Amino acid sequence: MKDVDNWYYSDKVKEHFLKPKNFLEKEPKKGEFDAYGEAGSVVCGDIMKVWLKIDKKTERVKKFKWQTWGCASAIAATSMFSVMVTEKGGIKIKDALKITPKDIITRLHGLPPQKVHCSVLADQAFKKAIDNYYGGRV
Ligand code: FES
């Protein structure tokens, strides 16, 4: 089988790429978010930026906003990840940290194998933001 035969985008990927959820259009104001994290891909050089709003009492992720220079797969995967961590009023940080790129890809109904590295950016930027949150770095 040639690589091109595996190049298939599910309707769910297209939905999240064409109408990304929780994309941050404007630069945030100072103090608007509780945490910030950034990750880059060594494979393609793209960058992901993530801003979080955390409920300090319950440790739930109330907002997950993001920007990227990544490709369609990175956009779809991050959009999906942002939905997964904020659904049902926001999931607890400890549970959000357990979400893997494989979980994101499952919710997207798959990604082309060549694009799996793109789904890692959201997860990595989120982990950086949580490190910064607990380290007192906004
Ligand atoms: Fe860079 Fe997908 S090719 S994020």
Cβ of 119 below 6 Å from ligand 1? no
pLDDT at 42: 85
pLDDT tens per residue across all 138 residues of the chain: 455 556 789 999 999 999 999 999 999 999 999 999 999 988 888 999 999 999 999 999 999 999 998 999 999 999 999 999 999 999 999 999 999 999 999 999 999 988 988 999 999 999 999 999 999 876
Which residue of 104, 118, 124 sits with most ligand 1 atoms within 8 Å of its CB, as the best mutation to test the pocket?
118
pLDDT at 34: 97
> Cα(46) to centroid of ligand 1, in Å?
6
What is the distance between the alpha carbons of residues 121 and 50, in angstroms, rounded to a whole number?
Answer: 10
Active site residues: 44, 118
State pTM to two decimals: 0.92
Cβ of 118 below 6 Å from ligand 1? yes
Query: Which numbered atom of ligand 1 lies nearest the CA of 121?
Result: 4
Q: Which of 4, 39, 34 is nearest to 126 (CA)?
A: 39
Sign of CA pseudo-dihedral 104, 130, 114, 17: positive
pLDDT at 7: 73
User: Is the Cβ–Cβ distance between 113 and 18 less than 8 Å?
Assistant: no
Cβ of 68 below 6 Å from ligand 1? no
Could you give the 3-state DSSP secondary structure of residue 18? Answer: helix
pLDDT at 41: 86
Q: Which of 78, 69, 64 is nearest to 129 (CA)?
A: 64
Which residue of 9, 17, 44 sits with most ligand 1 atoms within 8 Å of its CB, as the best mutation to test the pocket?
44
